[in-house]
Structure 1
Amino acid sequence: MTDKKEKADGPAAAESNPENEFALSLTKYNDAAAISHRVLAKVCRLAIDGDGKTILSLCEEGDKLLDEECSKVYKGKKISKGIAFPTTVSPNDILTPYTPLATDPGENEIAIKKGDVLKIQLGAQLGGYPAIVGDTVIVGQDAELTDDQKNLLQATHYCNEALLRLLLPSEIHPLTTPEKPHRQPSAYEITQILNKIAAAYDCTIVESTTSFNFLQNEIEGKKRLVLHPGEGMPKSEGAPEVGDIWGVELALSKGSGKLKDIPGKRPTLHKKTDTKVGLKRQTSKATFTEVNKKFGNFPFGLRQLEDERTAKMGIVECVRCGVVRQFEVLGEKDGSITSRLFTTIAITKAGINKIAAPPEPELEKLKTDKSIENAEILDFLKLPLNKSKKKKKPAAKKEE
């Protein structure tokens, strides 16, 4: 009995301690986030100054930078590292992550222009721990913006800050007391609160905006929060808990918030599934083998594969048989401008830590005649995300 107890209390037990494992994984999440922040800042700067640049060139530059930055860390160690989410740039009414192909005529020539609203998303992974981040920027935004653009950016920022606070579990919520724990809101209640904030700026929450819990080598865990689930779409499942990592998505529109397929836009973003099916075509087998080896369960763009033209052929059977899922290119039904933010968070005993987060906008430059008047919501937005007294540095800054 004594021997068994000593073994249980030894180093092996310490290594398998969930808290220790969480702390060790946070190191890699934070290291991956540092890479994602640096690359996002550079791509956003290129986009803001890039009237005339193509969307493809921005995506290619982002992926190149992600690969370069990942190669600089954990040298000589047997650890997986690379892109957890390829660089995507979605303009104006296109809402879902979009990454065109060099071999698609027309798509590869789409240039950004002053006033375009761009949703930029990307992410790195180290040891299978992903840090994904997304921001919304406007080409030439250092100049004058329209009131619609200003209101969209304000609404997006405040809705995102509210959403993060709404994810706080009851046990660590700042309003929880020993006598009365704060009740965690339902997905419906979260959506209603965000609707009020968005409406103050004449904006709408986009249907089926989905956040997932992250796991090692997986960005779509079993838990998910779905805002305004569309017809036939999955509903929310599970709830945020201490020890969770979440990828939090927030998408708004200046229009209806309803989604539609964008004609002529090839789905180029994919993700391997758990389905096991024997593929028949040689190109399909080669494509799937490459996907499995290079990306595992992380999303990938077809242009990341060795031969883009072969990949376009091989992926067809992979999708048809269900071993790979494609991300459809969707946009705002009425063509209005849209926004999207993506934040990777860790839920700890002290509260929520923004591991990878978009930089805060300069709100003074975004003032219009619209504002939040609801006193309850204004007080709610002042609640701290984290009880730690140590002042945190900003998550990221856009490069000058």
Structure 2
Amino acid sequence: MSSSESGDDLDVKKALGEEEEDADYTLANADVSTKYQEAAKIANAALDVVLSKIAVGKTPLELSRAGDEVIEEKCKKIFTKKVKGRTIEKGVAFPTCVSINECVCHNSPLASEAQEPVKEGDLVKVDLGVHIDGFVSVVAHTVRVGPAPTAEEPIKGPVADVFLAALTASEVAIKLIKPGNSNKQVTEAMARVAEAFGVNAMQGTLMHQMKRYIIDGNKVIILREDVDQKVDDVVFEQGEIYSVDVAFSSGEGKPREATSRTTVFKRAVDVSYRLKMKASRYVFNEMNHRFPTLPFTLRALEDEKQARMGVVECLKHDLLHPYPVLMERPGDIVVHFKATILLLPSGTAKVTGLPYSTVGFVSDKELPEDIKAILATSSKTSQKKKKKKKDKAAMDVTAT
């Protein structure tokens, strides 16, 4: 075991049945960077398709299926050649979830479950992820159903405040997540944005470092720090990959688990147990074969009835990590955005996330000067500064 290898890396290797090797899975490897960016292109494309299908009368099930289908179809067409006799795995890294209004996240219903269709004025949140050879890109987006707001007919009031807070927070976080900065700086800035717009950041939301086959690495940024919810201080380093996950609410920002069925799970790679029920063994075998490390939805399993029965014993013995559907209070406005960023030598590269115009949103709130200053900074590394440092180093060497 190398000293640089974390526990999550080793647990994943064990789950995948991979032996120790010296392969370079960092962004210094051009092939790795390409896979992250190709996964990002597919994630953006799938998100675009789902957004184009959102309309009055559409159901979360239809929209969730559409996202997963695009991911699977597009992944089939790339990296088709075997490498060292091994087929490159690719596909869904986080199942498409469609959460409406006060539903915060993780709503990915089964075919047997009826849910209310989309209505005019609904806020629809879409969340999904893609991987190529285990290199994950995730994305989330929120839209309001109906005519797009314009400068002439803008959205005002609490809806505008929550939207602008989430969009601003996402941009601020991307500016701050760079080598040398800390997660504490990001969390403090998120609190400043929430305060400025008079809204609340969603409790329990974490931005994770991502690695190969790891969607929720050990380095995290907490969106909202509370007395009972804190994380260890970390410093960002070049070559790291992060999901920038922001969710804001007009309510308390303290989501509760919904009464609806949890359908999204991830295997607990460090836990084993000899299951008794046939249905449980079916779920576990399918999971091991198709989703050994990344989240999946029960909808992806062929036998839904078996899946619903079998997941109970798996959960009882901690073989699965559940992603429960989370809810704010009825009537609360919830907006969610997520992007994937790569910390490259040239600066921070945002590889997922669709453009969002704020022209049609009007708020009477004012950002504090320190947040404005962060927004005014560049995400790119100054080549001029780098050259000066190199020149100075050369001079120092000559002087000695």
Contact 1:205–1:228 at 8 Å: present in 2 too?
yes
Decide whether the 8 Å contact of 1:213 with 1:219 is kept in 2.
Answer: yes
Superposition pairs of residues 180-329 of structure 1, within 5 angstroms:
184-187=181-184, 189-229=185-225, 233=229, 235-236=231-232, 238-262=234-258, 264-274=259-269, 275-329=271-325
**Distance change in 2, residues 1:258/1:141 (3 Å):** farther
Is 1:222–1:238's contact at 8 Å kept on the other side of the alignment? no
TM-score by length of 2: 0.83
* Matched-pair contact (CA < 8 Å) for 1:115–1:141: no
Count of residue pairs the alignment pairs up: 353
SS in 1 for 2:377: coil
User: In the TM superposition, what is the alpha-carbon distance from 1:109 to its structure 2 partner?
Assistant: 3.5
Indicate which of 354, 359, 376 corresponds to 2:370. 376
C-alpha offsets along residues 220-259 of structure 1, whole Å, 9 cap, x if unaligned? 1111112224575562453321111111211111111112
Alignment correspondent of 1:12: none
The 5 Å alignment of 1:133-144 reads: 133-143=139-149
1:350 shift after superposition: 2.1
Tell me how far apart the structure 1 counterparts of residues 164 and 36 of structure 2 sit (CA, whole Å). 28
What pairs up with 1:1-400 in 2 under 5 angstroms?
Answer: 22-47=29-54, 50-77=55-82, 78-104=87-113, 108-143=114-149, 145-170=155-180, 184-187=181-184, 189-229=185-225, 233=229, 235-236=231-232, 238-262=234-258, 264-274=259-269, 275-333=271-329, 335-356=331-352, 358-372=353-367, 374-387=368-381
Aligned partner of 1:10 in structure 2 is: none
8 Å CA contact retained: 1:103, 1:309: no
> Contact 2:301–2:307 (CA<8 Å) still a contact in 1?
yes
**56-65 or 148-157: bigger deviation:** 148-157
SS in 2 for 1:364: coil
Contact 2:210 2:243 in 1 (8 A): yes
Partner Cα separation in structure 2 for residue 265 and residue 18 of structure 1: 39
Query: Letter of the aligned partner of 2:373 in structure 1?
Result: D
Change (3 A) 1:350 1:101: same
Unaligned runs of 5+ in 1: 1-14, 171-183, 390-400
User: Could you tell me which amino acid in structure 1 is paired with residue 131 of structure 2?
Assistant: Q
Q: Secondary structure at the match of 2:256?
A: strand
Counterpart-to-counterpart distance in 1, 2:103 and 2:179: 33
Q: Is the 8 A contact 1:259 1:330 kept in 2?
A: yes
Distance 1:56 1:237, change over 3 A: farther
Aligned CA RMSD, in angstroms, stands at: 2.1
1:248–1:344 contact (8 Å) kept in structure 2: yes
CA contact (8 A) 1:210 1:249 kept: yes
> Residue 34 of structure 1: SS of its match in structure 2?
helix
Deviation at 1:381, TM superposition (A): 0.5
Q: Residues 125-168 of structure 1: CA distance to partner in whole angstroms, max 9, x if unpaired? A: 11111111111111114155343222221111111111122221
CA distance in 1, matches of 2:26, 2:61: 42
Query: In the superposition, relative to structure 1, how do residues 350 and 265 fare at CA in structure 2: closer, same or farther (>3 Å)?
Result: same
Aligned to 2:14: none
TM-score w.r.t. structure 1 length?
0.83
- Residue 141 to residue 295, structure 1, CA distance change in 2 (3 Å): farther
Query: What SS does structure 2 have at the residue aligned with 1:296?
Result: coil
Amino acid in structure 2 at the alignment position of 1:70: C
Whether the 8 Å contact between 1:132 and 1:342 is mirrored in structure 2 is: yes
Change (3 A) 1:371 1:359: farther
What SS does the corresponding residue of 1:110 show, helix, strand or coil?
A: coil
Indicate conservation of the 8 Å contact 1:222/1:237, yes or no: no
**What is the one-letter code of the residue matched to 1:61?**
A
Whether the aligned pair in 1 keeps the contact of 2:119 and 2:145 (CA below 8 Å) is yes
- Contact 1:208 1:230 survives alignment (8 Å): no
Q: 1:185 to 1:31 in 2, by over 3 A?
A: closer
Match of 1:181 in 2: none
Q: Is residue 241–residue 340 contact of structure 2 (8 Å, CA) maintained in 1?
A: yes
Segment of structure 1 superposing worse, 110-119 or 227-236: 227-236
Deviation for aligned residue 1:360: 2.8
- How far, CA to CA, are the matches of 1:121 and 1:284 in structure 2? 28
**AA in 1 matched with 2:120:** K
Greater Cα shift, 328-337 or 228-237 = 228-237
Stretches of structure 2 that go unaligned for 5 or more consecutive residues are: 1-21, 384-400
Deviation at 1:302, TM superposition (A): 0.7
Contact 2:341 2:351 in 1 (8 A): yes
